[in-house]
Structure 1
Amino acid sequence: MTRDAIPQPLMRVTKPRLYEQLVAQLLAYIESAHLGPGDLLPAERELAERLGVSRATLAQALVALEVLGVIDVQHGTGAVLIYRPSIAAVISGLREHRNRLPEIVEARTTLEVKLAELAAERRTDADLLAIEDALRAMAEEIAVGDRGAHGDELFHQAVTAAAHSPVLAQLMAFIAEMILETRLESLAQPGRPEQSLASHRTITAAIRAQDATAATAAMLSHIELVSDVALLK
C-alpha cells in the first residue's frame, strides 16, 4: 500500500439474530435429509429438543419460513415443505421483509383506521352480518387450536366492504399480500389469536353502534396490538 492510499473503513459485523440462526439450521436439515416439496418436517417438540431451544423460539423461525413461502404450517398436520431454497436466499429475503415491516404497519394504520370510521358511518345490516359471521369463523378456528388466520382475514375484508369506498378497497387489495405476512407473524405470538379476536369484537361493537369515533380508536388500538411481532424486536 502506498503512503497516499486511503484504507477502506471496516464495516461492523452484524450478529445474526437467533431466529436467523434457527432458520439456517432448519434449511440445512431439510437439505441433509433430502426433503422435497410435500414432505413433512419433524414435529415442533422434536425440532425444539434437537435444536436446544424453546418451542416459542422455534415457532418464530417456522413463521419466518412460512411468511417467505418455504413451508406451510397446517393445523393438525405440521410444517409441510413447499420448496427448498438456498440458505443465503432465505436469510436475505428475511432481512428485506423485516426492514419493510414498519412500512406495512404504517400503511395498515393509514388505511384500516379510516375504513373502520367509514364502516361505522356507512354499514348496512348486511355488512354487519358479514362482519359478525367473520367473528364466528375466527372464534371457531381458535376453539380447535388453530391461529384463526382465515377468520381474521374475513373480518378485515368485511370491514373494508362495509366502508363502501372502492378506492380504499383497491388500495387494501394492493397491500393484501404484505398484510398476510404480518397476519401470520402476529397470530403466531403466544395468546395473540384470543387477543386479536377480542379486539375485533370491540371494533364490531363500535361499527354496530355506528360510532365512528369509537371505531377509529378501536381499529388504531388493534393495529398497534397486531403489529407487535417478534421479528421487529
Structure 2
Amino acid sequence: MGPGPLRRNRLYEQVVHQLLTWAASAGLGPGDRLPAERELAASLGVSRATLAQALVALEVTGVVAVRHGDGTVLLTAPRPESVLAALDARREDLGAVIEAREALEVRLAGLAARRRTDADLAELDAALDAMGADVAAGGRGVAGDERFHAAVTAAGHSALLARFMAEIADRIRDSRIESLAQEGRPHRSLEGHRAIAEAIRAGDPDAAAAAMAAHISLVSDVPLLGGG
C-alpha cells in the first residue's frame, strides 16, 4: 500500500514529510526503490509536478537518487524535519552560490576562448554529445551538464579559478539538479551550452563570457531552492 491522501497545504514540503513518514512505516531503507511517480502522486492526492518538486528536494539533500529508466532509489532514511532544515539552509546559500558562479564561470569562459586547446575542444564536444544523448532519451542531462562546465573550467587553464570552482561544486550540484528538473529546462540548458562552446571554439572571449552569463541567468531560476 502507498501513503495516504495528503491535505493540500504546504505543497512539496508536505509531500516530503509524508513520503519519508510513509517510507519509514513501510520499512524501506537504503537501496529500496520507491513506487512509480504516477502511483505516488495518486496515493498522495497531488499533481505529478508537486511530487516532482518533492523528489528533487529529496535528491538535492542526498536522500534519494532519481535514475532515468530505473526509478527513485532511497539512499538514506532521515527524519523529515532534518530534510526540511537542510532545504532552508540551501535557500539561504543559493544567492551567494549564484554570485560566485557569475564571477568565476563568466571569467573562465572568456579565458577558455583565449586558451583552449584541441583537446579542450574535444572534451567540450564530448560533454555536449553526452548531455544531448541523455536529454534525447528523456533524461535530465545532469552528468553531461556537470561534465560540460568542468570542461569549460579546464579550458580556462587557471589553476586558482579551478580550485575556487571545486570548493563550491557540491552547492552548484544542488541548483543544477533542481534547475534541470523543470519542464523544458534540459533542452534550453543544452542550447546554452552549445552557444558557449561555439564562442569558445571561435576564440571570441566577449561572446563566450556573454553566453555563459546568459546561461547562468537561465539556470539560476530555481524556484524550489530559491523559495519561489
Gaps of at least 5 residues in structure 2 are 1-8
Q: 2:54 aligns with which of 52, 55, 61?
A: 61
Counterpart in 2 of 1:104? 97
List per-residue Cα deviations over 1:146-200 (Å, max 9, x = no partner). 1111111110011001000000001111111111111111110101110000000
The percentage of aligned residue pairs carrying the same residue is: 60
Give SS of 1:79's match. Answer: strand
Q: 2:149 aligns with which of 147, 153, 156?
A: 156
For residue 230 of structure 1, report the CA deviation from its aligned partner.
2.2
- Partner Cα distance (1:40, 1:71) in 2: 9
1:60–1:230 CA contact under 8 A, matched in 2: no
Q: Does 1:34 align with 2:27?
A: yes
Letter in 2 for 1:78: G
- Partner Cα distance (2:98, 2:39) in 1: 34
Q: 1:45 aligns with which of 38, 41, 49?
A: 38
Give SS of 1:38's match. Answer: coil
Give SS of 1:80's match. Answer: strand
For residue 105 of structure 1, report the CA deviation from its aligned partner.
0.9
Q: Does 1:145 align with 2:121?
A: no
Q: 4+ residue runs of structure 1 moved beyond 3 angstroms?
A: none
Counterpart in 1 of 2:214? 221
Counterpart in 1 of 2:166? 173
In terms of Rg, which structure is larger?
A: 1
For residue 39 of structure 1, report the CA deviation from its aligned partner.
0.7
Give SS of 2:77's match. Answer: coil
- Partner Cα distance (1:17, 1:95) in 2: 14
Counterpart in 2 of 1:6? none
Gaps of at least 5 residues in structure 1 are 1-15
Structure 1 residues 163-172 or 17-26, which shifts more?
17-26
TM-score by length of 1: 0.91
List per-residue Cα deviations over 1:110-158 (Å, max 9, x = no partner). 1100000100111112111111111001001111111111111110011
For residue 17 of structure 1, report the CA deviation from its aligned partner.
4.1
Give SS of 2:72's match. Answer: strand
- Partner Cα distance (1:98, 1:88) in 2: 16
**C-alpha RMSD over aligned residues:** 1.0
Counterpart in 2 of 1:192? 185
1:44–1:55 CA contact under 8 A, matched in 2: yes
Counterpart in 2 of 1:212? 205
Letter in 2 for 1:213: D
Q: Does 1:183 align with 2:167?
A: no
- Partner Cα distance (2:98, 2:88) in 1: 16
The count of aligned residue pairs is 218
- Partner Cα distance (1:229, 1:57) in 2: 14
Counterpart in 2 of 1:116? 109
